[in-house]
Amino acid sequence: MHEVHVGEDLRERNREIAGENRELLRKHGVVSLNLMSAPGAGKTSLLLRTIPLLKEKFRICVIEGDIQTRRDAERVGALGIRVYQIQTGGVCHLDAAMVHTVLHQLDLDSIDLLFIENVGNLVCPAEFDLGEDSRVMLLSVSEGDDKPKKYPLMFLESRLLILNKLDLLPHVEFDADKAKAEARDLNPYIEILEISCKTGEGIQNWITWIENFYKNREVS
């Protein structure tokens, strides 16, 4: 939890700005998801699968967080939706202030669903509330089934865990039951979906999850 170098003043300041972001998003009826994972677990690939299936139903916007390059934003922007790139310039996570700056550039009344793709990092992003409605994390099966207890905070903080790259299961040693049991041991409330962005397996369950999440947030 960055005890060494995140001062309590910084945490407190992030919490305040995250609170402002949350209030702003709710006021305008924007439902937001913060996507987090290690590098290469498939966050951008998931968005590329998801957006075509939802863009007729929801007005979608994406905030892409990267240390360097605009690559992810270019890939997602090619789908014809609004994408905003945050280049952190070396910082290993998004924070609430970075997102706040972008929110003030958006016409929030014209957005239903906001995806925030965080920097690829299984540790630090989990420490920074962005003001999102919910956190969704990905773990790819090629990363290994021992990750939940080795990197516990993100599993503790996420509402949904998506196991991605199911297509690689025959080629890697990954005990999905073990990984799921560990994740639930850390966080009994975590929901879990299994997908392959490559083959499309399980994507419909994720679409349904988003639709239900949107519906429930709308009435809450």
Q: Which is nearer to its own copies, 113 or 116 (CB)?
A: 116
- Of 12, 56, 89, 105, which one interacts with its own copies (CB under 8 A)? 89
Q: Residue 50 interacts with its own copies (CB under 8 A)? A: no
By CB under 8 A, what part of segment 57-86 binds its own copies?
A: 66-69, 71
Residues in the chain: 220
| C-alpha–C-alpha distance, residues 112 and 92, integer Å | 28
Beta-carbon contacts of residue 131 (< 8 Å; ≥ 6 apart): 17, 18, 19, 20, 21, 22, 23, 24, 25, 32, 96, 99, 100
| Type of residue at 89 | G
Instruction: Name the CA dihedral angle for 147, 148, 152, 156, rounded to a multiple of 10 degrees.
Output: 150
Q: Residue 178 interacts with its own copies (CB under 8 A)? A: no
Q: Which is nearer to its own copies, 151 or 213 (CB)?
A: 151
Q: Residue 203 interacts with its own copies (CB under 8 A)? A: no
Q: Residue 8 interacts with its own copies (CB under 8 A)? A: no
Q: Residue 125 in contact with residue 18, Cβ under 8 Å? A: no
Q: Which is nearer to its own copies, 115 or 151 (CB)?
A: 151
- Of 48, 53, 108, 153, which one interacts with its own copies (CB under 8 A)? 153
As given in the structure block, the two tokens for residue 212 are: 């239900």
Q: Residue 1 interacts with its own copies (CB under 8 A)? A: yes
Q: Residue 12 interacts with its own copies (CB under 8 A)? A: no
Q: Which is nearer to its own copies, 15 or 149 (CB)?
A: 149
Q: Residue 190 interacts with its own copies (CB under 8 A)? A: no
As given in the structure block, the two tokens for residue 167 are: 């297509």
**Number of DSSP helices (H) and strands (E) in the chain, helices first:** 8, 7
Q: Which is nearer to its own copies, 174 or 213 (CB)?
A: 174
> If residue 194 lies in a helix (H) or strand (E), which one and from where to where?
strand 191-194
Report, in Å, the least distance between residue 190 CB and its own copies: 17
Question: 16 in helix, strand or coil?
Answer: helix
Interface with its own copies (CB under 8 A), residue total: 43
- Of 53, 168, 176, 203, which one interacts with its own copies (CB under 8 A)? 168
| C-alpha–C-alpha distance, residues 78 and 157, integer Å | 31
Interface positions with its own copies (CB under 8 A): 1-7, 10, 38-40, 66-69, 71, 89-92, 95, 119-124, 140, 142-144, 146-147, 149-153, 165, 167-168, 171-172
